[in-house]
Amino acid sequence: MDTTLQDPLVGQLLDGRYRVDARIAAGGMATVYRALDTRLDRVLALKVMHPALAGDGAFVERFIREAKSVARLDHPNVVQVFDQGADGSYVYLAMEYIAGCTLRDVLRERGALQPRAALDILEPVLAALGAAHRAGFVHRDMKPENVLIGDDGRVKVADFGLVRSVDTVTSTTGAVLGTVSYLAPEQIEQGTTDPRVDVYACGVVLYEMLTGGKPHAGDSPAQVLYRHIHEDVPPPSALVPALPYQLDELVASATARDPGIRPHDAVALLGQVREARGALTDAQLDALPPQALSAEHDGAEDRTSVIPRSPTVPRALPVDADPAPDGVHRTTRLQSPPGPDRRRPARPRRAVLAVVAALLVVFGVGAGVWYINSGQFTKVPPLLAKTEAQARQRLEAAGLDVGRVRRAYSDTIERGTVVSADPAPGSRIRDHDSVALTVSLGPQTVKVPDVAGQPLAKARARLKAAGLEPGMVTRAFSEDVSGGSVISTTPRTGTERHAGSAIALTVSKGRPVDVPDVTGDDPDSARQELADAGLRVKIATGRVDSEFDKGEVATQSPRDGSEAAEGDTVTLTLSRGPEMVEVPDVVGDSVDDAHDALEGAGFEVDEDRGLLGLFGDTVKKQSVPGGKRAPKGSTITITIR
């Protein structure tokens, strides 16, 4: 059955611009559609956040901020972000559409790949991540689903939706974002992220390409996480004996459990990959892989997950723990131990106490206290995108109090509705505790200040003080505004714009001045004439041959007749005099031959025939004797008899 027919967005025009044509994929945080940009008439991919997340103002603000960061990654192996916006409850990214498949599709169909193919895919992935790492970002969710292979063979990294700055903390709620099969040990235990978590994930992806299966398997996500923390990734040659040791070393280096001994970022790992490739023969690179491993790819371990850190992922969780039967087949959010509201078979009180004691040991004191006191807690109801009055009613109905209410600007959340709550909706909270609310003031708009007539530096400072950004500067002549000061802004003064908008500035070049012609003048006269016109003078260090006498102005820049701004500089180049050239001897030559010789040497030719030479064709005399030197371009007169 075609599920896209049931998708309410298919066939809709989003934000008055993007026509949604088909659903491509659905993930844990967003759905991706193929769409047409009706304004530019181009096909693109539209990534739309799930409504449950789109209602979380803090998440949306982070989504927008991170989208802007990724848009700055101009790299041929990164899926480009064209636009970002919101239409009602739909928050979206408009991205480059890649016709082709994902690396996951390739692995499902073919299983293990030849080493050459695996490295051909890994290298552009590392180049893309290296650009991100050097720009200060970490992807955090590298996996085959996020490696796109175009029909033209291009490899691109997608879904930077979890990208974060290198120095930012992953989560403030104790949760780890990522996909369990590719999480680095430090992500699971401390939630810390730096470029080395992407290096670890790429090592796991390389292992998977070389063997056809993941290095750590388990009946539940918890078991997979346990193995990431406590077990090394095995060498791929353990499953594929024909693989050379260089590939084992590459995987071991990238997936070292101690991040301190991994390559420090994707650029460093790319260097190791190229070194390993260079050490392999063509036969080793093109060795046929074994039949694909029989691991089922049901997609559960391949989905981005929100995984609370300790106590829900205990360091000492046994590998053979009894998981939920379908634990591996769902998007994973590992929960705290079930509360007493779950129905359980009756058992003696002593057995119940033993279970509680075991939980205290395995899940930590915090989980045990939660278990004992669960009856004193409730959950914060859904509040996001509700009006302040609706939020108050819901909190009162849940037996909770309204705490401090603050107001904040938001480009995406409607004015008067809840942007965020603390604790967040769904959080466990004691009965009668208070919940703080942040209510949207709508988009922050400011009026463009009047900066006309102000010096450029001062105008820029005033725009920033008003919450706007100085934009492109265009310069123009002005009879009224002095040079270097602002003539006008675009948009004009008084126009309302969102805070942070760029304002273009037109800056005066000063009063226009017609540049006079000073070629042939001596330098002092030329300097005075230009100064009288309001212009400055610079004498070039070099000199040129010219028709003008030595020391006179040979050329000027700008030329005469050009317009310059008052106070602009005109550069003068002085003459070292005309070039002196030896005059050919043409006496006795025919008139035509004489012309050819003299003009070929760079002279002008004049004829003196008189009455006797009207019908003659022989040169009897020349004004400058042959062998003498004369200024190039000067006129030589020949007498004809």
577 and 549 Cβ atoms separated by less than 8 Å: yes
Residue 199 burial (CB count, 10 A): 27
What totals of helices (H) and strands (E) does the chain contain, helices first? 16, 33
Which pLDDT score, from 0 to 100, does residue 303 have? 52
Q: What single-letter amino acid sits at 492?
A: R
pLDDT confidence bin for 152, thresholds 50/70/90: confident
203 and 255 Cβ atoms separated by less than 8 Å: yes
| C-alpha–C-alpha distance, residues 542 and 459, integer Å | 40
Residue 29 confidence (pLDDT) above 50: yes
Q: What tens digit of pLDDT does each residue of 500-558 get?
A: 778 889 999 888 888 999 999 999 999 999 999 889 999 998 888 888 989 999 999 99
Domains and CATH numbers, the chain: 1-97 (3.30.200.20), 101-335 (1.10.510.10), 336-372 (no CATH), 377-440 (3.30.10.20), 445-508 (3.30.10.20), 512-575 (3.30.10.20), 581-640 (3.30.10.20)
Q: Catalytic annotation on 549?
A: no
139 and 125 Cβ atoms separated by less than 8 Å: no
Quick one: CA torsion of 24, 25, 26, 30, rounded to 10 degrees?
Answer: -70
Closest CA to 126 of 229, 305, 273: 273
Q: Which residue has the higher pLDDT, 534 or 610?
A: 534
Q: What tens digit of pLDDT does each residue of 75-98 get?
A: 889 998 888 888 877 888 899 999
Kind of pairing, strands 81-87 and 42-49?
unpaired
Residue 294 token pair:
């029989």
140 and 146 Cβ atoms separated by less than 8 Å: no
Instruction: Rank 196-205, 387-396, 434-443 by mean pLDDT and report only the highest.
Output: 196-205
Kind of pairing, strands 604-608 and 635-640?
parallel
Which pLDDT score, from 0 to 100, does residue 27 have? 72
| C-alpha–C-alpha distance, residues 294 and 217, integer Å | 12
| C-alpha–C-alpha distance, residues 499 and 60, integer Å | 18
Q: Which residues contact 30 (CB under 8 A, 6 or more apart)?
A: 47, 48, 49, 50, 53, 161
pLDDT confidence bin for 298, thresholds 50/70/90: very low
Residue position matching structure tokens 């060498």: 235
282 and 159 Cβ atoms separated by less than 8 Å: no
pLDDT confidence bin for 112, thresholds 50/70/90: very high
Q: Which residues contact 310 (CB under 8 A, 6 or more apart)?
A: 189, 364
What helix, strand, coil percent values describe the chain, rounded to 5? 30, 25, 45
pLDDT confidence bin for 302, thresholds 50/70/90: low
Q: Which of these ranges, 53-62, 470-479, 605-614, has the smallest mean pLDDT?
A: 53-62
Which pLDDT score, from 0 to 100, does residue 523 have? 94
pLDDT confidence bin for 331, thresholds 50/70/90: very low
Which pLDDT score, from 0 to 100, does residue 392 have? 93
Q: Count of residues for the chain?
A: 641
| C-alpha–C-alpha distance, residues 157 and 171, integer Å | 23
Residue 589 token pair:
């030559």
Give SS3 for 209: helix
| C-alpha–C-alpha distance, residues 358 and 465, integer Å | 59
Closest CA to 574 of 513, 536, 527: 527
Given 2, 21, 105, 141, the catalytic residue: 141
Task: Provide the β-strand partners of residue 437.
Answer: 405, 421
Residue 572 confidence (pLDDT) above 60: yes
Q: What single-letter amino acid sits at 472?
A: M
The pTM for the full model equals 0.48
Closest CA to 47 of 71, 83, 78: 83
pLDDT above 70: percentage of residues in the chain: 81
Q: What angle do CA 340, 344, 345 make, to 5 degrees?
A: 140
Which pLDDT score, from 0 to 100, does residue 164 have? 52
Provide mean pLDDT across the span 389-408: 91
Please count the CA atoms within 13 angstroms of the CA of 314 that sit on its side-chain side: 17
Please report, for residues 108, 521, 551, 553, the alpha-carbon distance to residue 577 in angstroms, rounded to integers and kept in the order given. Answer: 82, 13, 7, 10
Q: Quick one: which H or E segment has residue 353?
A: helix 349-363
pLDDT confidence bin for 575, thresholds 50/70/90: very high
Residue 369 confidence (pLDDT) above 80: no
